[in-house]
Amino acid sequence: MIPIMDNFPFITVAILIILGLYTILVRKDLIKIIMGLSIIEAGVNLFLITIGYRWESVAPIFTNAPSLQMVMPTVQALTLTNIVIGVATQALLLSLVMTVWRYYRTADVRDVNRLEG
């Protein structure tokens, strides 16, 4: 039987993603929807780091380290890229919320139902 502590990061990832999806689907405030998206992003980042981790391994840097197993640097690079993309996406979404607020004076999705175009 697999100990629960070995799967704890994956359980945490599942909880974060489910919590973020719940926030996006249930909440009607635009800021809270963006917060739910941020929670999902944190879950995905934790998932990527968890996949790349290897027990009893060293950092992938060029040193005089003995030939041991090293952690995967690819998922670390993917996580950094995901963080940058997430920050840019959140900035864009928050600027969109500011525009909606200026036009409708609310951030509630139910009150923003008129689309003109």
| 11: Cβ contacts below 8 Å, ≥ 6 apart | 4
- The structural domains of the chain, ordered by start, are 9-54+71-104 (1.10.287.3510)
- Condensed to tens digits (0 to 9), the pLDDT of residues 3-34 reads 777 889 999 999 999 999 999 999 999 999 99
Q: Which long-range contacts (CB under 8 A, 24 or more apart) does 36-39 make?
A: 37/89, 37/90, 37/93, 38/86, 38/90
For residue 29, report the phi and psi dihedrals to the nearest 5 degrees.
-90, 135
- Answer whether residue 62 shows pLDDT above 90: no
Q: Which two tokens stand for residue 75?
A: 């998922």
Asked if 52 and 75 touch (Cβ cutoff 8 Å), the reply is: yes
- Predicted pLDDT of residue 83: 97
| 32: Cβ contacts below 8 Å, ≥ 6 apart | 23
Share of the chain above pLDDT 90, in %: 61
pTM, 2 dp:
0.85
20 vs 115, higher pLDDT: 20
- Predicted pLDDT of residue 7: 87
Asked if 33 and 23 touch (Cβ cutoff 8 Å), the reply is: yes
